Chains A and B, each alone.
Chain A
């Protein structure tokens, strides 16, 4: 029983990271029908940036806020320079190549300047775990599901209750029609990528105290976050967070009861099977286009 509690706790924490990243993919996809494949690296900038700024003497909240703002700017730059020019046509895929290339550049340059080794991001919330019998979790890890759920509701509020959010939904629904009613679709898309950048960096900042801030910290989670978004049906905010958390828990159960070495092989196989059964994603809907 203790083991199952532990798998649920750590699965909840790991899954929330996947969920937050998947949420970023959802924001980008909603606005541009394209995503930023540097997203794992934007996530990394949240952790690494905070560490670097703290080493320069900034207090934790200021360092984190600056790193997240910086990552939001990076997200906007990626959209303007590496996505928009390559996403003009209906079926453009050039943005895939450019964003993957930029991701490699960001990671390499971070490795060269920050160094290849992980560094600690000290917070009081990783000093002592909360113990439940023979299981436990750091308070810092409990922030992750809270942040994922809060971000989901905040985004829903933003999309439904604010002018900007409604404009974003309009662009998502029909970019041309949105333009005809005076919405600057390009600016809205830029903003969506900036929001996603900030969200990814926020997740990186939250998890870095537990897993260390390193140049490669976003590589695997970025990939898994994208996979979670696809499996959930990328156009559903609640769906991507739920699937993210479920996938995190499933990983821990696989590690606990099947194999630690084959965790990813089993997990990815499971995802592929789900995609075969639900081509639109678990929470997705088939798009109907009138012709």
Chain B
């Protein structure tokens, strides 16, 4: 009887332990499970931002070909699983769920738009899925308001660091000291205003003008008249190719020729649409594939061209900095997996702080540091200034626009 009672209690104890173990296993975070050797990506592959997805894809696939040809990571090939989010945050979140839960990739790579990246903050933390941005430059992508970003990393520019860089370049080129800000009426453009104002205040130079425009605006005469009448000789510009061209046309009508120093929203298409008006426009970025390239970068460009026939020349890479960032980011991911020694998301995340890698954009030594501000790999020292010259986007040092105002 006593034995029976003991046996009954033992069974209940055993059942309880098994249940607890089952529940415990189910509750384990995904990071503790073995992840797959894949990079999941949510990019703008179709729709009006399709050129941005292509910009990243050509770099990542080329880098993966090189990495896998050299033996892959931990003896396995590193795969790419790319999903289209059409630039919509909700789709980016859906894609993150697929990547984190169904595909169980070790890392996710982000696309062009900052709002998409911002929308991923909570889902990524919930799934404990590391994320690597390569373009979306919004400060809040990496510097979360709760100061607790653990899973999001970026190999790109950061708006908070870009503003002082642009202001410094503007101050160096302005003869009158009258510098104005022209920005698009989007989250990106409006978000840059306080950054630029802070940087101008730090430089003891008040903004001589502040003008905005709407997406698809075809004429900006009113804004340019106000800036011209205020004596502005240098404009810091936050916008993209189409509106930049339309702004230059408005200036051309008025005969107004200030120096323009743009954030990196404008790319090589701007040179095509603006034609001779683009001459001398300066733009911040991390890389250009035009002009004299170091041998390694020249080789990468050749392999991109060989793999993607639509890239007939460097002029066909719409966002050159994004392509270079994505190439370096892919190698940093591979290095971190090797350092982690296993396909484990948390071990991978920890390894990112130990990666030392000489990339084509910068020397990452180390790539990241544990404080969230340094979840950005590219430091301001690696930001570069490019100039449009003879229809090409070149390092400013390779053009006549090194110092002189236009």
The residue in chain A whose Cβ has the minimal distance to the Cβ of B46 is A112
Q: Mark A189-227, 1 if CB is under 8 A from B, else 0.
A: 000000000000000000000111011100110000000
Q: Mark B195-237, 1 if CB is under 8 A from A, else 0.
A: 0000000000000000111101111111101001100000000
Q: Is the CB of A136 within 8 A of B269?
A: no
Please provide the chain A residues from 44 to 92 with a CB less than 8 Å away from any CB of chain B in the complex: none
Contact partner of B50 among A116, A118, A138, A214, CB < 8 A? Answer: A116
The residue in chain A whose Cβ has the minimal distance to the Cβ of B246 is A211
Indicate if A111 sits at the interface (CB-CB under 8 A).
yes
Q: Is the CB of A120 within 8 A of B275?
A: yes
Chain A residues near B104: list those with CB within 8 A: none
Assuming the A-B contacts A3-B225, A129-B253, are A117 and B218 also in contact, with contact meaning beta carbons closer than 8 angstroms in the complex?
no
Count the A-B residue pairs with Cβ separation under 8 angstroms: how many? 98
Assuming the A-B contacts A14-B219, A211-B218, A260-B223, are A117 and B51 also in contact, with contact meaning beta carbons closer than 8 angstroms in the complex?
yes
Give the secondary structure class of B's interface.
helix
Indicate if A179 sits at the interface (CB-CB under 8 A).
no
Report B257 CB to chain A, min CB distance, Å.
13
The residue in chain A whose Cβ has the minimal distance to the Cβ of B212 is A261
Chain A residues near B49: list those with CB within 8 A: 116
Q: Is the CB of B249 within 8 A of A210?
A: yes
* Distance, CA A122 to CA B276, complexed state (A): 12
Q: Is the CB of A10 within 8 A of B272?
A: no
Please provide the chain B residues from 237 to 293 with a CB less than 8 Å away from any CB of chain A in the complex: 241-242, 245-246, 249, 252-255, 269, 272-273, 275
Q: Is the CB of A220 within 8 A of B245?
A: no
Chain B residues near A263: list those with CB within 8 A: 214
Q: Is the CB of A136 within 8 A of B253?
A: yes
* Distance, CA A158 to CA B211, complexed state (A): 46
Chain B interface bracket (under 10, 10 to 19, 20 to 34, 35 or more): 35 or more
Chain A interface bracket (under 10, 10 to 19, 20 to 34, 35 or more): 35 or more
Report B112 CB to chain A, min CB distance, Å.
11
Q: Is the CB of A118 within 8 A of B273?
A: yes
Report A219 CB to chain B, min CB distance, Å.
7
Q: Mark A100-130, 1 if CB is under 8 A from B, else 0.
A: 0000000010011001111110100010010
Report A148 CB to chain B, min CB distance, Å.
17
Indicate if B309 sits at the interface (CB-CB under 8 A).
no
Chain B residues near A280: list those with CB within 8 A: none
* Distance, CA A117 to CA B55, complexed state (A): 13
Q: Is the CB of A260 within 8 A of B211?
A: yes
Chain B residues near A212: list those with CB within 8 A: 242, 245-246, 273
Indicate if B140 sits at the interface (CB-CB under 8 A).
no
Contact partner of B219 among A10, A112, A131, A214, CB < 8 A? Answer: A10
The residue in chain A whose Cβ has the minimal distance to the Cβ of B268 is A117
Contact partner of A6 among B50, B211, B225, CB < 8 A? Answer: B225
Q: Is the CB of B269 within 8 A of A118?
A: yes
The residue in chain B whose Cβ has the minimal distance to the Cβ of A221 is B218
Q: Is the CB of B222 within 8 A of A117?
A: no
Task: List 15 interface pairs A-B (beta carbons < 8 Å), by A numbering.
Answer: A3-B222, A14-B219, A108-B47, A112-B46, A119-B272, A138-B249, A138-B253, A210-B218, A210-B249, A212-B242, A220-B216, A255-B221, A256-B225, A260-B222, A264-B214
Starting from the known contacts A116-B50, A120-B272, 12 additional A-B residue pairs (CB-CB under 8 Å) come to A10-B221, A108-B47, A116-B49, A117-B241, A117-B269, A118-B241, A118-B242, A129-B252, A212-B273, A215-B48, A260-B212, A261-B214
